[in-house]
A and B are shown apart, each in its own frame.
Chain A
Amino acid sequence: MTEVKSEPGTPEAEKAAASFPWPIHEAVLDNGLRVVVSADPTTPIAAVNLWYDVGSRHERAGKHGFAHLFEHLMFEGSSHVAKGEHFEWVTAAGGAAINATTSPDRTNYFQVMPSSQLELALWLEADRMGSLALTQDTLDNQREVVKNERRQRYDNPPYGRWVEYALQLTFPEGHPYHHTTIGSMDELQEAALEDFQDFNAVYYSPNNAVLTVAGDVDAEEVVRLAEKYFGGIQRHGDIPAAPDGTLPQIKIGETRRRVEPDDSVPRPMTFMMFRAPDARHPDFTAVEVLATVLGRGRGSRLYRKLVTEKNLAQREESYTSVWNLAYGASVFFALFSPRDGVEAPEVEREFTAVLDGLADGTEPVSEAELGRAKALLTSDWLRAVSELGGRADLLGQYATLERDPKIVREYLARLEAVTAEDMQRTAALILPDDNRVVIEYVTNATPEAETDGDAGADDAQEADA
């Protein structure tokens, strides 16, 4: 039996919802699978997106990187689909944009199909949800693939490991965000088949997933097809709570610094992280605006100050941005590279002076700066929803993290409501020096690096051991 909640898709209601003018139709299957459909007959294609409420934050000590390795195993076959056939059949049906991603918070699987082939995607997703084939052979193979992914992204390129160092300093030992999604070589090497069988049994259950379909489809028909393909999959029971990500306070409480002397890096580079309100917090949109005002684009405050006016830093498209972590705290992120002949500490002083000027209210955000940031973020949004894949992804995100896909309609209004006071309040909360992690790459061991006495450096070494 299917419980269907629908909303009137009147043109008036659609017009009112500038963020997302397409209808949103929701249903829940008896096994707990949530189904979200957004019809748009303009182009004969349909985006299918399946979000599982499991990410690297659910992993336990010694088993880091398993959520991501599991994501790889999901493409290795199931009862009626041999290894490699998921991709093969989707492409052979004219589908594209097939992939999956794992974040700290969740794992998602997606493909875009000709709408006449929608059923194939539903069948493939249902088959692996209900009967994943986990074998020692495919585990051994994908373990090697993931180790190569780690080498390619983290170990071989210069600066590749900065994010590991930064997360270790930003979140305490044992915190769900203390580690990266890729995990460590040692832990990947130790992964046993039972670990993945357990992982599957606990998290890859219909009541821990949201299926989203956007495009040239009929909503009622999609719900009927979801029932046909997913309805026979039993729920695995209640999903255990994730490790607690609650922090006693947003602020880290001090500056933590790690200096990384590394002859393989071509130029000095500094990365910074600040804990920020999480992605479900009412202030999160304001933090996104703050990052855009301060450090995104040629017209941002940091660019104008550090590049045009003082000529201290290399130009970047983005000096600051926000990572939308949804549990515990999010991360406000910054980076810079000094111009040739300029020392990194000098750039850092000027950089943080810009942050301070906003945090202490001496250089408040102007209406023009606010308008510029909102215009850029509005365009980002319009671009994202101009693709069916983007629409399905946003619906999955709101349904999974906020428990309600219709919140997708509120984005532009939330953005519009952000004020200059919000900028100052969030800046005062997250940017001061008692909430800062600094990872400084230097091209060789400078005296400062060797004698760095900052308490944080010790923490980092310990964490890395």
Chain B
Amino acid sequence: MSTNTLVTERPAGGPPRPYEFPAVTRTTLPGGQIVAAHLPGQRMAYAGVLLEAGFVREPAGKEGVGKITADLLREGTELKSGDDFALALESLGASWSGSVDADVLRVGVQAPVDRLGAALALLAEALRRPRLAENDFDRVRGDRVAKLTTAWAMPGTRANEALNRGLYLPESRYSKQDTGTVASVSALTLDDVRAFHGAHLALGGTLLLAGDLSGVDVAALGEVLLGQAAPEVAPPAPTGARDLVDREILVVDRPGAVQSVLAIAHHAPRRDTPDYTAIEAMATILGGTFNSRLNHQLREVKGYTYGARGGFDLSRDSGVFSATASVHTEVTADAAVDALAEIERIKTGGVTDDELASTKAYRTGSLPIALQTPGSVGGALAQIVEFGLPDDYYTRKYTEYTQLSKDEVDAAAAKRLFPEHAVVVIEGDAEKILPGLTEAGIGTVRVDDEGQA
């Protein structure tokens, strides 16, 4: 194709139009707040309720009760059977979503904006007046146990579980899977669900709205959900982080596996850390994009994996850095060595000017791309509420990125990464990978067989 005439100069492009997050309005009601973002012209809308019901509030031994409670909301109300409720909601074209993280539980609906009121009324009915019947509970618990059993057999779950036990003391809620274990969920009773619902889901919360709200009576929508005062919320139990001294290599045996799941992790600061933006930029360079150092080295240079990534997951009281990849069994030790070396390299050597410039442009440019839809703006509002961020947080973040310096990012790498104290979990065929891992000399290797579904 030598006859093709191509433009040789890479186009320079112009400066981006600065980004502004949609204006946020707040309305206070007896049970909480309405936090709303108006998105002119959007034909779909999102309405969600954020509740102080994250997994840190689950009582010891009741791990998974939050998720089960959220699941049961869809199984009918005092007024409608589960089938009737589903038919009513879906006939509006509404879809239901639910999520639980460490700190909060969120349930929501997406619907065409002219049906938002009707969909929200159904959400309110499900949340505040759920049926919570014994036969539905038995069925939903069975479903959840089956899902956990299946997840246990999927690559990665056992590694994740071993990682949690490596990072936190056994009594810490964080040491157990987010959605509970087969054992903890199997032991739950309907009374546990009723107690959790009564304490955390029956009253109060924050209503999140995103969409074209020009014809919507926001206060009336809020009244349906937030008319009654919320109960007092007690602080959750302490985090229970384990002190990490030397690097630990934990092998989780998965006989016959053709790939190993590699995960390297250690503790990180809480979400309100003042260097959050610097940490985020550093993590983007290390493992956040396709051309990050980890993916470049493990995939594009070595061909060990389909993809490698790394980043920080920060909650109100705890934080974790992790780097992960699924790698071909035969190269497991080499991949672990390379991944640790990349973490060490950015920690000691910092980032380059080009990497920083590129990452600043990427993080600012991708902000409006990520926040195009009512669902994604709803998610952004949830972050603002969950972590007590200012309403113009995403607009400010844009500016913060433009001002970020290399010194700040290098300092974040030096201070927030410590591969020498990391927990390294490798889920794979132990017989095949143990000799290589021992020979690699990256730490004391131990087979971890404490895990259970």
Contact across chains for A376 and B93 when beta carbons are under 8 A apart: yes
Question: Is B276 engaged at the interface, CB distance under 8 Å to the other chain?
Answer: no
Other-chain residue from A122, A145, A368, A382 in contact with B112 (beta carbon distance below 8 A): A382
Please indicate the chain B residues that have their CB under 8 angstroms from the CB of A142 in the complex: 303
The DSSP consensus for interface residues of chain A is: helix
**Distance A155 CA – B43 CA, assembled complex (angstroms):** 42
B15 at the A/B interface (Cβ < 8 Å)?
yes
A45-B369, A91-B358, A337-B146 given; name 18 further pairs at CB < 8 Å.
Answer: A79-B8, A88-B291, A89-B10, A91-B289, A91-B361, A116-B14, A117-B14, A123-B10, A130-B6, A141-B300, A142-B303, A151-B326, A233-B4, A298-B90, A299-B89, A314-B146, A379-B93, A379-B95
- 20 A/B residue pairs, CB under 8 Å, sorted by A: A44-B17, A88-B291, A91-B358, A94-B364, A94-B365, A95-B369, A117-B13, A120-B13, A130-B4, A144-B303, A266-B149, A299-B86, A299-B91, A308-B83, A314-B147, A376-B90, A376-B93, A378-B93, A378-B112, A383-B44
Residues of chain B with a CB closer than 8 A to A264's CB: 153, 256
Query: Which residues from chain B contact A265 at a C-beta distance below 8 Å?
Result: 153
Binds A, one of B189-197, B238-246, B372-380, B444-452: B372-380
Contact B4 A114 (CB under 8 A): no
Which residues from chain B contact A376 at a C-beta distance below 8 Å? 90, 93, 95
Which residue of chain A is the closest to B296 with respect to CB atoms?
A: A84
**Interface contact tally, CB-CB below 8 A:** 236
For chain B, which range describes its interface: under 10, 10 to 19, 20 to 34, or 35 or more residues?
35 or more
Determine the chain A residues whose CB is within 8 A of the CB of B289 once the complex forms.
87, 91
SS class, residues of chain B in contact with chain A? mixed
Q: Is A92 part of the binding interface, using a Cβ–Cβ cutoff of 8 Å?
A: yes
**Do B291 and A84 have beta carbons less than 8 Å apart?**
yes
Question: Which residue from A151, A299, A314 sits with its C-beta under 8 Å from B87?
Answer: A299
Contact status B327-A299, CB under 8 Å:
no
Cβ contacts under 8 Å, B15 to chain A? 116
A262 to B388, CA, bound (A): 49
A376 vs B256: C-alpha distance when bound (angstroms)? 42
Q: Does B430 make an interface contact (CB < 8 A)?
A: no
Asked if B5 lies at the interface with its beta carbon under 8 angstroms from chain A, I say yes
Total interface residues in chain A, CB < 8 Å: 84
Contact yes or no, A151 B258, CB < 8 A: yes
Q: C-beta contact mask, B14-44 vs A, less than 8 Å → 1, else 0?
A: 1111010000000000000000000001111
Q: Which residues on the A side are within 8 Å of B11 (C-beta)?
A: 117, 119-120, 122-123
Is A127 at the interface (CB under 8 A from chain B)? Answer: yes
Question: Could you say which residues of chain B place their CB within 8 Å of the CB of A93?
Answer: 13, 361, 365
Q: Is B271 an interface residue (CB 8 A)?
A: no
Contacts of B370 in A (CB 8 A): 96
Contact of A116 among B17, B83, B150 (CB under 8 A): B17
Supposing A93-B365, A119-B11, A119-B13 touch, asked if A83 and B300 sit within 8 A by C-beta, the answer is yes
Residues on B with beta carbons closer than 8 Å to the beta carbon of A379:
44, 93-95, 110-112
Q: Mark B340-379, 1 if CB is under 8 A from A, else 0.
A: 0000000000000000011101101110111011110000
Task: Name A152's contact: one of B1, B93, B306, B375 (CB within 8 Å).
Answer: B306
